[in-house]
Structure 1
């Protein structure tokens, strides 16, 4: 795995919220020691929303980072059930856990997860609370990537591509993830904003299709549009899986891929599609950085250290300015094209 997969946590901001205990350099509290299992390692529970390739990559990074710090990762799959997620957190806390790492099922319902952890510590990873003010609590933090930039990278690539072709208006097909999720909203908005910012007029060739980040669903839903006679210049997908579904739909329908298809996440299959020329570009979301950062944050909270301790060793410190900056740790997205995809394989 290349160096870029293990680097670059950017910690947001210079502005501290008054209610945040991290201001003034005291970003966490002393919680004492957690109970250890029979192997001598302290159990650290990771409650994921549901398992997929990306979640497994985050989990692997957590396991690799945890053991040298004295932890054993215990993973729980909530299978997109918010009530199960609450139960898993309560079980971990009742079992003596001092910290829980959680990728929430519902970004709008994260307060219930904070309530479930009580006075113990909670690290949100990958998917932040919709209401960032929830991160003002001194026992809650977030490690993930700033979705304001992910779709924007797609739009910048497409704008440059079509400018070189002399086009000022672009008709697009968009495949969206799960409606209501922060990632879906921001990725969809970001690509359109970037096109407009770069002088391109984006026009819907058809209403967006919603494929819930699922490859077979995207393949099934996009195929009728490919054969409907609608004219389009590109296909924009909120993640690689759906972009790959679109590629398969094109091949099944006998449609030549002579237009850009773009994704996000830079999964192994996505990177190969870029290398093969089927996908024009993707945007690398760093699961290793997120997994490592989540474990470091949990360890800092458990041991009463400042939340940012060790984070700067994984990358540059961002001073762009965000609310609750001492409780938000950004892992940067990175654009990936055929020119640099080898660095991500």
Structure 2
């Protein structure tokens, strides 16, 4: 395990040590729920984590949250909604009726956030990874969001591509875009961010085709394969996540196409990092699942204790000055290229 992911796991350990020691001052090694009596090896309460689905990224988030909760003295139970929004709401209702102290939700449908808030009632609720479409459902006293600012993820991709083509003396490009689940905040902002970065850096970018592959590798292969063999010219493949980018890599290999153009992703999964190292992908953007899992548990503990949701962490609250800003913790994205990918493996 190299530097960046090791640092993430050290943050888990440092935070958990601080949790066991009780709270007080700020910083990554302190903070918790406000009382030494509720920390330590015994359980002080229960938290339910309801995930939209299980994949590599979310499973890593779940593991980090489970460990952080255990060190805090909470028993965390994870549920998989299997991409079913109604099932997810039922899990939240069950947690509420079962007397859970808090619930963490990775929403299937960001538009359904208000229904999730209603199902949670007065039980502290933390959305993680995927934000509500309407951030006004957040409430610093009882409802929070922990994730990474999607405005920056696609922008990092665009900055990389802009520099790549500037170095080639090229100011106009054509791209294939692999999109996540249409309408989700992450899909919308990742697509907008990459285009904006290209424009901001003087690159005129025209889509050849935009394909919705729902963050799924197999679907990306199915969707992009006919395009790759159609004879249409393109300069790069932009993907909303690593799984679809890897699908594009596989589809190119299946079609006998030499990958001498950039394929870019987001998440920096294990397989994504390996593809960057080998040169099959040009770059990815690290999204910190451990940090999001820890941050969500810390936010739960702080909501229960009536504290600022980022107390005991190194993460910043939203700085936009909106009514919901104190209800958002940002865990930064980080660009990853062949130059620094060893730090993330």
Which of residues 258, 269, 272 is equivalent to 2:271? 269
| 1:157 is the counterpart of 2:160 | yes
Q: What is the number of residues matched between the two proteins?
A: 316
CA distance in structure 2 between the aligned counterparts of 1:321 and 1:260, rounded to whole angstroms: 34
Q: How does 1:52-63 map to 2 (within 5 A)?
A: 52-63=55-66
Tell me the equivalent position of 1:127.
130
Which of residues 64, 81, 84 is equivalent to 1:81? 84
CA distance in structure 2 between the aligned counterparts of 1:160 and 1:304, rounded to whole angstroms: 46
CA distance in structure 2 between the aligned counterparts of 1:180 and 1:322, rounded to whole angstroms: 25
Tell me the equivalent position of 2:306.
304
CA distance in structure 1 between the aligned counterparts of 2:277 and 2:338, rounded to whole angstroms: 6
Tell me the equivalent position of 1:239.
241
CA distance in structure 1 between the aligned counterparts of 2:290 and 2:182, rounded to whole angstroms: 26
Larger deviation, residues 216-225 vs 160-169: 216-225
The DSSP-based 3-state class of the residue aligned with 2:310 is: coil
Tell me the equivalent position of 1:192.
195
Give unpaired runs (5+ residues) of structure 1. Answer: 10-29
CA distance in structure 2 between the aligned counterparts of 1:83 and 1:246, rounded to whole angstroms: 32
CA 87–135 in structure 1, closer or farther in 2 if over 3 Å, else same: same
Per-residue deviation at 1:136?
A: 3.2
CA distance in structure 2 between the aligned counterparts of 1:3 and 1:73, rounded to whole angstroms: 28
The DSSP-based 3-state class of the residue aligned with 1:136 is: coil
Q: Stretches of 4+ moved more than 6 A in 1?
A: none
The DSSP-based 3-state class of the residue aligned with 1:208 is: strand
CA distance in structure 2 between the aligned counterparts of 1:301 and 1:104, rounded to whole angstroms: 19
Per-residue deviation at 1:199?
A: 0.2
Give unpaired runs (5+ residues) of structure 2. Answer: 12-32
Per-residue deviation at 1:318?
A: 6.2
The DSSP-based 3-state class of the residue aligned with 1:143 is: strand
| 1:183 is the counterpart of 2:182 | no
| 1:167 is the counterpart of 2:166 | no
> Residues 31 and 98 of structure 1 are in contact (CA less than 8 Å); yes or no, is this contact kept in structure 2?
no
Tell me the equivalent position of 1:220.
222
Tell me the equivalent position of 1:42.
45
Per-residue deviation at 1:322?
A: 4.2
Q: How does 1:293-332 map to 2 (within 5 A)?
A: 293-312=295-314, 315=315, 317=316, 320-323=319-322, 324-332=324-332
> Residues 300 and 306 of structure 1 are in contact (CA less than 8 Å); yes or no, is this contact kept in structure 2?
yes
CA distance in structure 2 between the aligned counterparts of 1:225 and 1:171, rounded to whole angstroms: 13
Tell me the equivalent position of 1:23.
none
Q: Deviations over 1:103-128 (max 9, x none)?
A: 11111110000000101110000011
User: What is the CA RMSD across the aligned residues, in angstroms?
Assistant: 2.1
CA distance in structure 2 between the aligned counterparts of 1:272 and 1:244, rounded to whole angstroms: 10
